Structure 1
Amino acid sequence: MTTKKTDPAARAALFQDRNFRWLMTGSAISLMGDQFTLLALPWLVLRLTGDTVALGTVLALVGIPRAVFILVGGAVVDRFSPQRVLMLTKHVNLVLLALLALGVWQGALTLPAIYALSLALGISSAFSIPSGTSILPHALAPAQLGAANSVMMGLRQLSMFLGPLAAGVLIALFGDGSGGAQDAGGIAAALALDALSFGLSAWTLAQVKLRALPADPARHAPIWTSVVSGVRHVWDDAQLRTLYIYWGAVAVLVLGPLHIALPVLAESRPGLGAQALGLMVGAHGAGTLLGMVISGLRPGLRIGTLGTSVLLADIVIGLLFVPLGGITAAWQGALLMVLVGVLGGFMQVSVFTWVQKRVPPAMLGRSMSLFMFIFMGLLPVASAAAGWLLQVVSLPQLFAGAGLLLVAAAVLAWVGTAIRGVDDAVVGGSLVGRE
């Protein structure tokens, strides 16, 4: 086993870096605002219609365009720079959320209007996600990426815990719509705060100074040609190709079943219920945050290479999944989920940083958009498949089967691919020499 502490001086230098401070501040503001809308929008639809079909339609209108257009978003980011694209999406989202908040406040919001605004938010996110995930390597030195990603991902995880709590309190205090449109002030306030968060984070983003990229005639190729070249770049890089395919398998075998089966487990098992579900989800979130913090403090912690560490972590996660379907108490599920979260959070930071260092800056938007598409595109399919499987298999069988398949996938990748040889060195030197 190898381990390497983050040098305190290097960590201090990261927080003294002007670009990082502005990016971190803007990210914290925007992430908290996002959680307000993630809670307020579904609540608004249910209060307005009482119809789960309408709620599903709204969620689909946000999620499907994001998955469909995210590769185009990556190509646009590489053409115009992540900062310019991210700035535009922040202004667009400010306007969209302000319209939503105003419509709720005035009691004039109709379901078709919510559908239209949800669709626009989904399209906007197809451009904001690749720009947001590719901006760090353009703003920071390569040696700072691991610690920076740990902080940024940790902030995201923390916002997922604090944001819904704050949004729930706000909506409860100022009106949750239970008394009709005139009693929805809390929902309007939550949406307005998210709009404000986009305005503030746009201002912080304007303070960031990105490094200039060398001239590249390919940057002005037609968008479709640019998308194809981005996919081809990932495919032609043997390590990237192998890992992207492997992560697709992980998304199908772990994230899909977890999305569906965990709520079903809490609802169907005597002695569990909603409180147990909250405890297990919270434990997973806390474990993920802890894993990200550990990755920031011990970025070189490995068992062999990075690739070996990824495979071993997934083998352990798969084995932790096996008993999950047979738990009889909430603490058992929470213990398993916190361990899954620690391993997953640690490897997320390591893998994210590796991809950012591996890919040339001119290809970063497209490569990161493909990376995110694997999870956003496959997760709904995997979740639907897990829901169908639960019609023919039991919960213990689903959890055990998913876990053992993940173990088998990791073992096959160990034996039959070059993943074990993937290390933290920047093979090909995509960022070497950039200061």
Structure 2
Amino acid sequence: MKIRRLDTRSENFVAELAALTAWSEERDAEVSVKVADIIRAVRGDGDAAVLAYTNQFDRRDAPSVAALEVSHERMQQSLNAIPAAQRDALQAAAERVTRYHEKQKQDSWSYREEDGTLLGQQVTPLDRAGIYVPGGKAAYPSSVLMNALPAKVAGVAEIVMVSPAPASELNDTVLAAAAIAGVDRFFTVGGAQAVAALAYGTQSIPGVDKIVGPGNIWVAEAKRQVFGKVGIDMIAGPSEILVVCDGKTDPDWIAMDLFSQAEHDEEAQAILVSQDAAFLDAVEASMQRLVRTLDRGDIIRTSMTNRGAMILARDLDDCFVVVNQISPEHLELSLDDAEDWAKKVRHAGAIFLGRHTPEALGDYCAGPNHVLPTSATARFSSPLGVYDFQKRSSLIGCSPAGASSLAKIASVLARSEGLDAHARSAEYRLFDQE
């Protein structure tokens, strides 16, 4: 496993870092066309198209879309069937995730001006949300909790979950997580056809207001194409981790923290930044030794070879210049006084503070959401949260005196824009006060 080295003192460093972290925004033309065809078919043929694609792509032999729906009884059976330790862990994680997200809930607010005019904001939940949970390479019960529980806290009336079940294989921990999270309906459908069904609705799968959750290139492209008909959370790229370490943490710990994201898939990115060259050598030695002990070692080797790196910085301040250039999905600050250093971070999806806070804790049970902005979109995006499942309506209620006062301003501005009806509509209220 060869891991590239970069040095911030190199005159080519900025270009090298940009090349390393670049994730192609170019859409695969063939995938784009095929996804458009799938969406068009689902819009036109509903259940028939969903069923045909699911049976084809997931090696199923289902007689109907109704047969692809998992009942509440089946979810509860899985919850009862999994080992007690798994059940307890899922429930503990759900409690922590719920408690954290309850802090995010926004309430309606308003105030009255002296003339009696009311201004404010009415906050309401979405009627129906769709959550996509990946399947295939691995099972992700944690993704069920992270996507469904914020919607529950927000007060979403109905949560519709979709997740592929290749060859009809259902994962009991995923079903158990759906039961714990209070998923209302669960269809074992994946891919672009699942996104299209959620966006437009079919005879059996209800259309939703927003689709959240990560997926492969087909899911990402489908979300991109249905955006506007429904809301989406984000277009997620491969998982990322950036670790900043001062050289005082056990190298094995750092190596395994990097591997925790590299094992997701071959496109994942894991980067270590330190001002200590000898520490970079020690971590690389740990990685070469430990990778041989892991079940997903081949995936990790490919990820680290193609997209991983170790970066030597001038000093710790220089490390944070790199952090803000990369704008990582996950950022570990394995440092003394990590809380203080975190104040230097402008862009990151989630920040893990100190030597005893590995990113893996955030993936499962710390409380904050693990659905995070990737590919430097942390510059303008935030983690999935309750706010993604709430919408805000402005409240404006003028008293007669308030209307008269505002009409004077509105009339001038409307006429400056050449909008006569706007001006006269406002002026009618002004005249009412004469």
The TM-score with structure 1 as length reference comes to 0.25
Higher normalized strand content (fraction of residues): 2
Please say which structure displays the higher CA radius of gyration. Answer: 2
Higher normalized helix content (fraction of residues): 1
Q: Point out which structure has higher relative CO (alpha carbons under 8 A, 6+ apart).
A: 1
